[in-house]
Structure 1
Amino acid sequence: MSIRKRIEEARALQAAGYHEAALILASVAVAGASRLTYPRTDIPGDGQAFKTYLDRRILETTTHGPITPGGAFLVLSYKGKEQSIAAILYHEYRCNLVHEAELPSGVSIGGEDRGLSFTVADDILVLTEGWIRLLIDVVINDPALRDTFDDIRRRHPDDLTYVGGIAEEHYANEFVDEFYSSAGRLSIIKTFVATVGAEGLAQLDDSEIQELWDEEVLKDPGRFGLSESCLTGLSFPGPQVQGPDVEGRAFLYRAGKSGSARISDAGIKMLRSVSNHYR
């Protein structure tokens, strides 16, 4: 399918540092995917189909929760207008690159920050390359394209089979209590385990897990079912932990003030627990 080819090309271009070209190809894939969900009989305009689809899929991808129709993950005020991030990506980036072959002065994408960050000030609009990865991620993990991307799509917790000795609900409650976590964090960790493979993960020692995280996961979190919001959530323990007790309880920790998110000792134990209870 051509959507698959566009995604493969976008990933290759991003890996090579061609961010604008990667954004164009990722946008083409989003446009194609949007028409699978919203045919012209439902939404005649291509731009509206693109924005409606992207707003919904970004919410589904980043929040792992129920979606309010018409909602948006992020709204920015730019040039006197309030626009969703989907509208920004469409009008300010996609349309300018496709129709003008360049971005306007003050508008750019890339930089050293690989997360989901942005800068908006007067006529300045800068998005980090994490937004390109997110565009790619929302298409790869679209349920309507499950067969197209089955070999690289984000795995779902339901892809795992529970093999623990106690009831699964009981295990989940014990996990939350033991690791000062939450049901949402457990779901994110299960998604990661399902993507890597529980059996393979169980065979890695602690240093190999950390190496996998540093060398592969942080370079492309979306491939492992992790959005930037997931990483942020895993950097904090559950809501039952307050004050100084937060230290060392979370799945991730930041190495230095602006360092990358590394797996903590507690995080290693969480992965061991999940990989021992699921296949």
Structure 2
Amino acid sequence: MDIARAEAGIQARLADADLLWQLGRRESAFLLALTALGARSRLALPEVKGDRDAFVTYLKAQHGWRIEIEYRGKQWSIDNLIYTWLRCQLVHEGALPIDLVIDDTLSQNGGLSVRAGGAPEYVLLLSPAWFDFISSAADPG
């Protein structure tokens, strides 16, 4: 692997993600930030087999907390939820699930927030700060 080329690619994806975020293109911004995070995880953990395992292992190492969230009737660690329901949905389906929403009302304090909604909507809400967290994890330097 050409490390310098990979680093340049990560930085380019993050710069594009920031621009898209500023333009209000949130899903596209998340997609590029998650792509950069995936590339960073493979650089940092080349010995880990599989993209999912590298992504989740790397992301867990970027924070010291554990959050479990109920979504679609199952408990998910925040790291697995980000991989499966943000990264994979954007890559393979081209959009976030209809029941997962980036919600500005959760950004009042600027922190990371998650709200698992119950009846009647059953929608998982994430604060916009998750974009910054993912981008920062992809560029730890």
TM class by shorter-chain length? Answer: 0.7 to 0.9
Are residues 1:115 and 2:111 paired?
yes
Does residue 99 of the first structure (1) align with residue 92 of the second (2)?
Answer: yes
Q: Output aligned runs, 1:52-91, within 5 Å.
A: 52-59=57-64, 72-91=65-84
CA RMSD of aligned residues (A): 1.6
CA distance in 1, matches of 2:88, 2:22: 23
1:136 and 1:102 mapped to 2: Cα distance?
A: 19
Structure 2 unaligned runs (5+)? 1-7
Q: 1:15 to 1:73 in 2, by over 3 A?
A: farther
Conserved 8 A contact 2:117-2:125: no
Report how many residues are paired. Answer: 128
Structure 1 residue runs of 4 or more that deviate by more than 4 Å after TM superposition: none
2:31 to 24, 30, 49: 24
Match of 1:37 among 44, 57, 78: 44
Is this contact kept in 2: 1:111–1:128, CA < 8 A? yes
Letter in 1 for 2:115: T
Residue-by-residue CA offset, 1:146-182 (whole Å, 9 max, x unaligned): 4xxxxxxxxxxxxxxxxxxxxxxxxxxxxxxxxxxxx
How many Å apart are 1:80 and its aligned residue? 2.6
Secondary structure class of the residue paired with 1:126? strand
Q: Deviations over 1:191-235 (max 9, x none)?
A: xxxxxxxxxxxxxxxxxxxxxxxxxxxxxxxxxxxxxxxxxxxxx
Q: Secondary structure at the match of 1:119?
A: strand
Q: What is the identity percentage for the equivalent residue pairs of Structure 1 and Structure 2? A: 33
Please report the TM-score for the alignment, with normalisation by the length of structure 1.
0.43
Instruction: State the AA in 2 paired with 1:58.
Output: H
**3-state SS in 1 of match to 2:91:** helix
The higher relative CO (CA closer than 8 Å, separation ≥ 6) is in: 2
